[in-house]
Structure 1
Amino acid sequence: MSAAEPHVPLSLLDFATVYRGETPRDAFCRSVDLAQKAEELGYTRIWYSEHHNMTSIASSSPAVLIAHIAAKTESIRLGAGGVMLPNHAPLVIAEQYGTLAELHPDRIDLGLGRAPGTDARTVAALRRSPQNAENFPEDVLELQGYLAGRSRVQGVEAIPGADTNVPLYILGSSMFGATLAAQLGLPYSFASHFAPDSLVPAVKAYREYFQPSDLCPEPYVIAAVNVTAAATEAEAARQSEIVRRRRVESMALRGRQVGEEDLDLLMSSPAAEMILSMLRYHAVGTGEQVAEYLEGFTRHADADELMISLQSPTTGESLESMSILADAWDMHTS
């Protein structure tokens, strides 16, 4: 990236991770610290993802978490990355995010996903049907109508919500989201931090078939990428290995803890290889090394903005990684 090229903004994805021995309250306190530090460092936005029935992720209610963090910050944009729309009635989401937009004007984003964000039993517990995903395009349009004050449902308005025009983003990890975002003239965010396979073809299709809209006259791509930045290359590698081991333990063993020797064996298994392939796009190293990686990733993804998923073992290391990255990115793009 040359000095003449435009600055690609950095944003953050926060899962409100609950580490071993913690409670969700601990995770929420950390999310506040993260947001305040990100605001100070100049990050553009932070998004919170809707997941259910996962012991290590506390962001099951993004709107509630956004309200709490917005009250403790001043300017950084906050949003859902995303709301899994098949789990909800569009009117309810319009009211929730309309409320947030009225309380915190020009600071709220709304990313929309089609996946349930959980397992089949939890979908049933949410009182929703797996078939709801088939209505996703229509639900997006209904939600958009409520937020624009042009309801598609006669006699029904989102109050609050109408005329707030909360910015909508289509989230995806496949061609479906890319083509839908292009058809609707909405920004597109690709989940390349855990689903890297279709990144390049999906972004290409989105840009090729994009239909301009009043709210988004040009295509806009946000690509997610994992980052572990530290003072030294060796320290970053150490942190990354801990993260990788925890990822395999969490996903392969569904939260069960095993001894280090057993985990060593598991790490060399085909199951671990498949899980770790999700971290294909992972910048690991010093600030300069991470910035160089992200420079190349920006070109590779043809991205207008990067959504950073910090991959560090502790709160302190995550905050340090975020600071190292911000400093290095400013130097690299100035």
Structure 2
Amino acid sequence: MSLALSLLDLAPVAKGRPVRDSFAASVDLARAAERAGFRRVWYAEHHNMPAIASSATSVLIGHIADHTESIRLGAGGVMLPNHSPLVIAEQFGTLATLHPGRIDLGLGRAPGSDQNTMLALRRNPASADSFPDDVLELQGYLSGHSRVPGVQAVPRADETVPLYILGSSLFGAQLAAQLGLPYAFASHFAPDALHQAVAVYRERFRPSGQLAEPYVIAGVNVFAAEDREVAARQMKAAWRARTRALISRGAVGGNFTDAEIDEFLASPNGAQLASMTRYSVAGTPEEVRDYLTAFAASCQADEVITTHQAPEPADRVRSVELTGAAMAVTA
């Protein structure tokens, strides 16, 4: 079986540019992924982060679906404890009715925000404890077999929207295995437990109505360019911007110079932050292809979901194009 290729779009907001430009860039990126043979594009739920524009995940998915033709689109993911399972079932039932055969629903249990934002979302800090039950409730609505007497999700699409469990620890791996669902590991920013989590998932997997065999998606950061040095510069600029956003509590930009950011990342305090992007590749299409192929083999991934975070939208599109063309050679 050939390695499937997909895309996680973080819908970044560039300093000094309107958010509308971010959405236009996301449309361009999804179209590029569609042309390049990517299987799907996912968007993540984050809140109170001015550098990321994908907070209203289902709305963005619908917008992208209106501007593409065939590529699968979905959430990678919806942080389910932030929401009522019924409301999410209604949102994704609507999306799948409008765009049949194209909608995925990845589910996570993290808040996707800081503590104050979590309270503003009306989220109880203990709500993550009910995540397994919430997944089952949501699954019931989407399949037409509600677990809540007298309550149905309307509209409900003719097909059942496929669910994916997202995670960066053994908890998600165990739950995905128990429920017989695909498992997506966030190794693009939380790499430490990747191999152990995949091993646990594959060992404990139970077939389900959705999935007969275990299916693993793993995240990788990709910067592809015709010139290796160009790709390396893009990656360095992206990690500087990411670090600024994180240590500035999500604000776009920050007042830190490049030299200060580099010094921080090289320090013991910055080492952990730097290690979060362990699974990253910057290089020519051939180098990217070799890295992704080896990465997938090392962690038994059936699919790699790539993030392309070059600062300029045109460079992100080009990275997607080059990656898709390189991986098509191996398909």
Q: Secondary structure at the match of 1:326?
A: helix
In structure 1, what residue type is equivalent to 2:93?
Answer: G
Deviates more, 1:180-189 or 1:21-30: 21-30
Give the alignment partner of residue 271 of structure 2, picking from 265, 270, 273.
273
Give per-residue Cα distances to partners, 1:52-73, cap 9 Å, x unaligned: 0001001001100011111111
Which residue pairs with 2:242 in the alignment? 247
1:229 equivalent to 2:224? Answer yes
Greater length-normalized contact order (CA 8 Å, ≥ 6 residues apart): 2
Aligned residues: 328
Query: Partner of 1:296 in structure 2?
Result: 294
Question: How many Å separate the matches in 1 of 2:221 and 2:121?
Answer: 30
Post-superposition shift, 1:162?
6.2
The answer on whether the counterparts of 2:265 and 2:273 sit within 8 Å (CA) in structure 1 is no
Q: Which runs of 4+ in 1 moved over 4 A?
A: none
Structure 1 stretch displaced more, 196-205 or 262-271: 262-271
Specify the SS of the correspondent of 1:279.
coil
CA–CA separation in structure 1 for the residues paired with 2:284 and 2:151: 53
Distance 1:186 1:327, change over 3 A: same
Q: Please say if residues 164 and 184 of structure 2, whose CA atoms lie closer than 8 Å, have aligned partners that are also in contact.
A: yes
Q: Percent identity?
A: 56
Deviation, 1:238, is 1.2
Structure 1 counterpart SS, 2:315: helix
In structure 1, what is the Cα distance between the partners aligned to 2:262 and 2:123? 40
Per-residue deviation, residues 10-51 of structure 1 (Å, max 9, x unmatched): 000011100111222111010111111111111100000000
2:25 aligned partner: 30
Q: Which structure 2 residue ranges, 5 or more long, are not aligned? A: none
User: 1:264 and 1:303, CA in 2 relative to 1: closer, same or farther beyond 3 A?
Assistant: closer
- Match of 1:170, SS state, is strand
C-alpha RMSD of matched pairs (Å):
1.1
Give the alignment partner of residue 153 of structure 2, picking from 150, 158, 172: 158
Q: Does 1:68 align with 2:66?
A: no
Residue 322 of structure 1 is matched in structure 2 by 320
- Is residue 115–residue 133 contact of structure 1 (8 Å, CA) maintained in 2? yes
Report the counterpart of residue 94 of structure 1 in structure 2: 89
Describe the SS at the equivalent of 1:161: coil
Asked whether 1:218 is paired with 2:216, we answer: no
- Residue 7 and residue 306 in structure 1: after superposition, are their counterparts in 2 closer, same or farther (change >3 A)? same
- Distance, in Å, in 2 between the alignment partners of 1:189 and 1:263 is 31
> What amino acid maps onto 2:285 in structure 1?
G
Q: Is the CA contact (8 Å cut-off) linking 2:96 and 2:157 kept in structure 1?
A: no
Corresponding residue of 1:3:
none
